[in-house]
Amino acid sequence: MPADVTVLVVGAGPTGLLLAAELQRRGVVCRLIDANAGALHWDRATVVHPRSLEVFESLGLLESFLSAGVKQCFARLHSEGNVLGEIDLSICGSRHGFNMGISEEVTESILADYLRRQGGAIARSSRLVDLRATDSRVLATVERDGVQEEVAAQWVVGCDGVHSTARQLCGIELTGHDIAEPWAVFDVTLSGWPLPYEAIYAYLDEIPVILTALPGRRWRVYLRPSAPESDLLADAAATIRAYYPNVGFDDVANPTRFHCHTKVATRFRSGRVLLAGDAAHVCSPFQGHGMNTGLQDAFNLAWKLALVCQGHCGADILDSYELERRPVAQAVAVSGDEVEHAQTLSDPLERRTRDRDLRAVFADPTARHHEAIAEAELDIDYGGSPIVMGDAHSALGPGQRLPDTIEVRLAGGESCGLHELTRRAGHTALLICGASARDGDLARLADLVRARSDAALIEATAVLTTRSGNPHASGSLAPDAAEQLGVGDVTLLVVRPDGHIGLRADRDHLEALGEYQALLACGESAR
C-alpha cells in the first residue's frame, strides 16, 4: 500500500518549518502537523546567529530577517561593577558579523511564509498519538478535534519539542539533567540606557541578568530570580541599577518563569523516524544556541532525506545525520553547563577566580577570536562524518564550511561571493586552478568533471582560476583567495547543499569524484 505522504513532520516550530519548507523546495511532499491551534503570539528565543543568517541568505530570506530584527554586534560581560571582556562578532569570519535580535514568533512567521511559497502548509490542532513502523512506511495516528486519522508516511521527523511524542513513541531516551536554578524573562524598554543599543550585555552578579536587544529599542531581559515568588522587575533592577542607577524599566511585557534542561537524545534516528531540534536536544539558554542548533539540524537533514525519498541515495545516508549533528548537540550541552556553572557561583572566592579567568580569556586575541567563532556557530566541522572524503588540508578540509567571505570576479565582469555559486538544491563542484595550471588541461578536466557528474547529485560545476580572461572559466579568484583555500595547482571541491565540503581532491580528481558519488549513493565509506 503506498504512503499517503512522503514525509510527516511533527511540530511547526522553527526546526519543523525549515525542514518542511526545504523538503518541499526539493520536490518532496510533506505534511506538517502541530498540536497548537494557532501560531505563537510570543516566545522567549531571541538570537539568530551568523551561521543561521548564512542559511537564510542561501534561501533568499536574509532581507526578511534584517528588516524584522536588530543587529547585535557584540556581547559584553560584566561582574562586580566591572567589564570582564567583550565578544566582537565582526571578527567571526562571516559576512554577517552580528547576531540578529528577533523574537521567535517573528522567525516562525517568516519561515511559515517561506513554507507557503514552497507549496506547503501547517495542519494545526493536529496531535500525533501513535506510531507503528514497518519496513516500508510508518503508520501515524493523528488526532484533530477528537477525530483520529491514520496517516501512512515513508518517513516521520519529530520536531515536537522537549516533550516530543515522536521520540517517546520510538522509545528513545533524552538523557542528561535538569538545570536546578530556574530562569525568568520579560520584555522592557530601558529609559536612560547609556550604552550602545545593538548588543548583548551579560551581568554575572548575585542576580545574573542578560540583556538582548530587540527591535524598537526594546530589550529581552533574562535573569535568575532571587526567590520562587520574587518580583522579577525588582530582581533585574537590583543588578542593572548597581551599574546604571538612573535606568528606568518601562512597558514591561510577557514576564515568564521557566525551567531548563541539559539533555541529548541517545539516538536521532529509529528506523524511519528521525528527531530534530528540541525533540533531540535541549540546553541552557545563556548562549542562545537552542533554536539555532535546531535550524542547523533541519538544514543538514533536508537535503539528505530528499535524496533518499527521490531514490538517488540509499537510506544509510541518513545515519550521517546523527553522526554529524549529535556531537554538535553534545558540545552545546557541555558548553551550556559550563556557563551555567560559572553564572550561578555564589562563593566570593570562586566568583573572583571566575572573573580573573574570564579577563584572561578576553585579553588573549586568539581566545577572543575563538569565542567569536563559537558564538557565531562557525566552528562546526563534519570532518569525522562517514560521507565526507578527500585530501586533508589545513586551509579547508573535507567536512568544513565553505567560507562566505571570498569574492569571485565572474566572466561577465560582475562580482559575487564564492558561496553564492553553491546556492542550489544539489551539490556544486568547484574546480579551482592556481597560476601554474594550463588552460587547455583545465578545459579538458572541466569537461570530464561535468561528464562524470551524476546530475541527481551534482547540480552544477563552476571553473575558477587565478587569472582573468580564461575563456573556459566561470570566473576568477584573487591569488590570496586561492591561498586562503589552500589551492596550489588544481583543486576540486564538491560543496554540499548545506555549504560544507563533501569532497576535496588536490589530485586524481576524476577518481575521487567517482568515489565520492558512490559514497553518497550508499551512504557509508568504503575506505
Query: Which residue ranges make up each domain of the chain?
Result: 5-45+104-173+262-344, 183-258, 389-522
Kindly tell me if the per-residue pLDDT of 174 is higher than 60: yes
CATH class belonging to 5-45+104-173+262-344: alpha beta
Q: How many CB atoms lie within 10 A of CB 128?
A: 24
Torsion of CA 152, 158, 159, 162, to 10 degrees: 140
- In whole angstroms, give the CA distance from residue 225 to residue 395: 46
Q: From residue 228, how far is each of 202, 232, 235, 344, 346 by CA, in Å?
A: 22, 10, 11, 16, 17
| CATH, range 183-258 | 3.30.70
Lowest model confidence (mean pLDDT) among 136-140, 261-265, 430-434: 430-434
- In whole angstroms, give the CA distance from residue 398 to residue 391: 7
Ramachandran angles phi, psi of 381, nearest 5°? -130, 120
The structure's pTM equals 0.96
* Region 224-253 average pLDDT: 97
* Region 459-470 average pLDDT: 86
CA-CA-CA-CA torsion sign (353, 359, 365, 369): positive
- In whole angstroms, give the CA distance from residue 493 to residue 506: 9
E-strand ranges in 298-412 read 389-390, 407-410
Kindly tell me if the per-residue pLDDT of 525 is higher than 50: no
- In whole angstroms, give the CA distance from residue 34 to residue 372: 35
Q: From residue 419, how far is each of 57, 372, 378, 494, 525 by CA, in Å?
A: 10, 21, 15, 12, 27
End-to-end CA distance of the chain: 38
Nearest alpha carbon to residue 445 among 421, 419, 463, 471: 463
Kindly tell me if the per-residue pLDDT of 272 is higher than 80: yes
Chain-centre distance for alpha carbon 519: 25
pLDDT of the residue at 526: 41
Kindly tell me if the per-residue pLDDT of 527 is higher than 60: no
Contact criterion met (CB below 8 Å) for 275 and 322? no
**Which strands sit side by side in the sheet containing 501-505, from one edge to the other?**
389-390, 501-505, 490-495, 427-433, 458-465, 475-476, 407-410, 415-417
Q: From residue 97, how far is each of 52, 78, 93 by CA, in Å?
A: 12, 22, 7
- In whole angstroms, give the CA distance from residue 376 to residue 381: 14
Residue-wise pLDDT for 91-146, tens only, equals: 999 999 999 999 999 999 999 999 999 999 999 999 999 999 988 999 999 999 99
Nearest alpha carbon to residue 313 among 301, 322, 324: 301
CA angle 153, 157, 159 (to 5 degrees): 140
Lowest model confidence (mean pLDDT) among 160-174, 297-311, 455-469: 455-469
Share of the chain above pLDDT 70, in %: 98
Which helix (DSSP H) or strand (DSSP E) does residue 47 occupy?
A: strand 47-48
Kindly tell me if the per-residue pLDDT of 466 is higher than 80: yes
* Higher-pLDDT residue of 424, 149: 149
Which helix (DSSP H) or strand (DSSP E) does residue 372 occupy?
A: helix 365-376
Lowest model confidence (mean pLDDT) among 84-98, 206-220, 288-302, 473-487: 473-487
Residue-wise pLDDT for 405-423, tens only, equals: 999 999 888 999 999 999 8
Grouping H, G, I as helix, E, B as strand and the rest as coil, residue 490 is: strand
Kindly tell me if the per-residue pLDDT of 384 is higher than 90: yes
CATH architecture of 389-522: 3-Layer(aba) Sandwich (3.40)
Q: From residue 231, how far is each of 190, 228, 298, 334, 464 by CA, in Å?
A: 17, 9, 38, 31, 61
Residue-wise pLDDT for 478-496, tens only, equals: 989 999 999 988 999 999 9
Q: Cell numbers for 23, please give them.
A: 523538503
Contact criterion met (CB below 8 Å) for 155 and 171? no
- In whole angstroms, give the CA distance from residue 211 to residue 188: 10
Ramachandran angles phi, psi of 30, nearest 5°? -120, 155
Residue-wise pLDDT for 310-369, tens only, equals: 999 999 999 999 999 999 999 999 999 999 999 989 999 999 999 999 999 999 999 999
* Region 42-51 average pLDDT: 91
Going by pLDDT thresholds of 50, 70 and 90, the confidence category of residue 474 is confident
Chain-centre distance for alpha carbon 307: 20
Q: Please give the mean pLDDT across all residues of the chain.
A: 94
Nearest alpha carbon to residue 482 among 418, 386, 525: 418
CA-CA-CA-CA torsion sign (9, 10, 12, 14): negative
- Outline where 165-231 has alpha helix (H): 165-170
